[in-house]
Amino acid sequence: MSAPEWFIAFGGLLGALCRFGLSSYLKNKVSSPFPWGTFTVNLLGSLSLGILAGSGVAPSFYFFAGTGFMGAFTTFSTFKLDALQLGRRNERVTFVLYLAATYIGGILLAWLGYWAASTL
């Protein structure tokens, strides 16, 4: 395995552990049909990846933090599964709010992170 692959693998390990920890913590602290754990990691990941992309970090650090850590920390598949479960439970308002807030919030936060890192 080459150096970039090791950076990605190690970042992925840490990102997956952090996602599990933060999602589990929020699931135990907040009793709500809204999937706060997945929502939080995805929006935090969008902001963080925007910051990384805008800051012009070294490729090796981007492999570790962007591809590895953020790739494992954020979760598109769990986001979709959470949305599906809300729909199946007829939680229509929560379903629409979750989709809209995740997509719109994620794009805005990625843009904000990129803008902040590239201009400040």
Q: Under DSSP, is residue 104 helix (H, G, I), strand (E, B) or coil?
A: helix
Sequence-ordered alpha helix ranges (H) in 74-120: 76-88, 92-119
Lookup: tokens for 33: 């049909």
Phi, psi of 58 (to 5 degrees): -60, 145
CA atoms of 86 and 97, how far apart (whole Å): 11
* 64-118 per-position pLDDT tens digit: 999 999 999 999 999 999 999 999 999 999 999 999 999 999 999 999 999 999 9
* 48-60 per-position pLDDT tens digit: 999 999 999 999 9
pLDDT at position 9: 96
What does the domain layout of the chain look like in residue ranges? 3-119
pLDDT at position 3: 77
Q: Is the pLDDT of residue 4 over 90?
A: no
106 exposure class (CB count in 10 Å sphere: 0-12, 13-18, 19+) = buried
CA atoms of 99 and 52, how far apart (whole Å): 25
* 21 band by pLDDT with thresholds 50, 70 and 90: very high
